Structure 1
């Protein structure tokens, strides 16, 4: 066990004390924005303990995420169930940070796939899976429209400012020292063009609470349906942003046109009023691709970050060409 893993594990053990669970050594299963551990509940079921990255979200925002997830679960959606601590709170603060932790129910199934790796075709009906993704996204958006936000509800905005403003939520994609001067100039000009284009259509687009990170790793495939995990970036945004996120990293799949069609059909079957917005999906694929540049630019210590950014810029240029900008 590395020094970092040992430190995180000790922190997880301290957090677990708030749930009065059996003595155990949590198993670290993911460490990126948050540290996620697999733990065992008193009755033997697995659960996920999340130690939140300090300073990424406020305490109010973390509590709001859990309130939204609990509401969606109560509405019958396949999302993790927040598990209250011994004092009844869904979010606990502990340690000198203070650090924040929550405990959520385990979601059975397997991730749809891994970014950068071709989707597994054998034994899977991918079109049916993508149709289910579209349907579940539509159900999530419909439930979100009926959500009564509690006092103090706070989540980030993936609106025009959150995507293209002076301080986008995932970072200033045009202002990255790792990029060449040519790429920075290109992205600066593209930002101005897209700001004008988005402003012209934004008032008529479906907008509300969204998941905001429907990537392969956060889509769990189960018998006949799918479930969504990781609401860490959920917030207020254009519903097309969720659809674009679900599709963006699948564009190189041989069956992408059919997968895209299946996802949109599944979505429109539940929210037929959204079909009028689908014409703008290419714009949101590009907007989503830009956020990844900002995300990587804000994390210069990532392994192979220069190569990663080069790929991201190439993706943006290709999507911009498809859009004709």
Structure 2
């Protein structure tokens, strides 16, 4: 949690949000939260999510843009958690604070259950890729209703965070700029770039009758589709929900089935696949920046400092992230299905 947000949050803010959504105090429980305060509540035997963010991170129009995109994907037949209005009929409720405002949004609770180790298999990998391919295919036809609601571009947000939370002499700043420059050298077109989830990891979807139900679009932004794939791979390959004795074989197995599913719904070029290692390294750089947002790094314990140093080492390394040739694997997958 960003420290400036955490320091401003009070019980009075939560009480006001509860009032505006007519929530029974006995039905609400905290789910924690990474960048926002997140709660679960029940009304008329239906479960919902209450998320309280802050204008330090998102403007009201920015969140309205998220909700508009959710509605678009839902209308395209994708299973996503839609937002629900407050008792005043607002999709976003603004609650004044000392520095800016807190923003309360409520969503339908995703159907299904959390992903478990038992679910972690080739069938899931393929469905995962297929779902992301559907988002990328759908967003090619997305046009927002109002320029004021347009979501941010991924690189704009990254640069702002780095300059705000890292010291001017931090070695990660030039590394981050280098990673950004490499990825942004890709050509932008409706076939390579668009509004997408940008945080599609295994803790942001449930499985409902064997199908994916996606939620938490808080980070949705305009980015390269290959970068969006890289974000998913970063979490799925390094943090699987079960152990694999032969990690190199697991990496290949996941990638093959994930991309097989993806290519059912969307196309991507070999030239884009070449950027996957860089995209994963960029994610490590962003986690390094976020760690500075959320923590006083001068007060870290040994384990946290080691993790921070590891993030920096991986992001700065010129070596491939994984013992896998994504391009060769992609060629093999592409050939097998055509």
Question: Residues 21, 78 of structure 1: CA spacing in aligned structure 2 closer, same or farther, 3 A cutoff?
Answer: same
Q: Which residue of 1 aligns with 2:254?
A: 259
Question: Residues 155, 51 of structure 1: CA spacing in aligned structure 2 closer, same or farther, 3 A cutoff?
Answer: same
Segments of structure 1 that go 5 or more residues without pairing to the other structure are 114-119
User: Within 2, Cα distance between the matches of 1:192 and 1:81?
Assistant: 35
User: Within 1, Cα distance between the matches of 2:11 and 2:184?
Assistant: 46
Segments of structure 2 that go 5 or more residues without pairing to the other structure are 1-5, 241-246, 323-338
What TM-score comes out, normalization by structure 1 length?
A: 0.80
User: Within 2, Cα distance between the matches of 1:13 and 1:307?
Assistant: 39
User: Within 2, Cα distance between the matches of 1:220 and 1:73?
Assistant: 16
Residues 1:111 and 2:114 aligned together: yes
Residues 1:201 and 2:191 aligned together: no
Give how far 1:24 is off. 3.5
User: Within 1, Cα distance between the matches of 2:181 and 2:15?
Assistant: 50
Cα offsets for 1:199-240 (capped at 9, x unmatched): 543346701102111222213233322222211111111111
Alpha carbons 1:240, 1:278 under 8 Å: kept: yes
Pick the aligned partner of 2:13 from 11, 16, 19.
Answer: 11
Name the SS of the counterpart of 1:322 in structure 2: coil
Residues 1:32 and 2:34 aligned together: yes
Q: Which residue of 2 aligns with 1:157?
A: 153
Q: Which moved more, 1:19-28 or 1:240-249?
A: 19-28
Pick the aligned partner of 2:275 from 258, 274, 280.
Answer: 280
User: Within 2, Cα distance between the matches of 1:317 and 1:79?
Assistant: 35
Alpha carbons 1:111, 1:221 under 8 Å: kept: yes
Name the SS of the counterpart of 1:87 in structure 2: coil
How many residues of Structure 1 are paired with residues of Structure 2 in the alignment? 299
Q: Which residue of 2 aligns with 1:218?
A: 204
User: Within 2, Cα distance between the matches of 1:245 and 1:173?
Assistant: 23
Alpha carbons 2:183, 2:275 under 8 Å: kept: no
Alpha-carbon RMSD across the aligned residues, in angstroms, is 3.0
Q: Which residue of 1 aligns with 2:320?
A: 322
Pick the aligned partner of 2:134 from 126, 133, 139.
Answer: 139
User: Within 2, Cα distance between the matches of 1:194 and 1:94?
Assistant: 38
Question: Residues 138, 94 of structure 1: CA spacing in aligned structure 2 closer, same or farther, 3 A cutoff?
Answer: same
Q: Which residue of 2 aligns with 1:49?
A: 50
User: Within 1, Cα distance between the matches of 2:80 and 2:86?
Assistant: 19
Question: Residues 288, 25 of structure 1: CA spacing in aligned structure 2 closer, same or farther, 3 A cutoff?
Answer: same
Question: Residues 33, 278 of structure 1: CA spacing in aligned structure 2 closer, same or farther, 3 A cutoff?
Answer: same
Alpha carbons 1:144, 1:209 under 8 Å: kept: yes
Q: Which residue of 2 aligns with 1:65?
A: 66
Residues 1:312 and 2:311 aligned together: yes
Q: Which residue of 2 aligns with 1:171?
A: 162
Cα offsets for 1:265-287 (capped at 9, x unmatched): 11111002455522321221122
User: Within 2, Cα distance between the matches of 1:169 and 1:261?
Assistant: 35
Name the SS of the counterpart of 1:321 in structure 2: coil
Question: Residues 105, 190 of structure 1: CA spacing in aligned structure 2 closer, same or farther, 3 A cutoff?
Answer: same
Give how far 1:103 is off. 0.8
Name the SS of the counterpart of 1:250 in structure 2: helix
User: Within 2, Cα distance between the matches of 1:288 and 1:87?
Assistant: 39
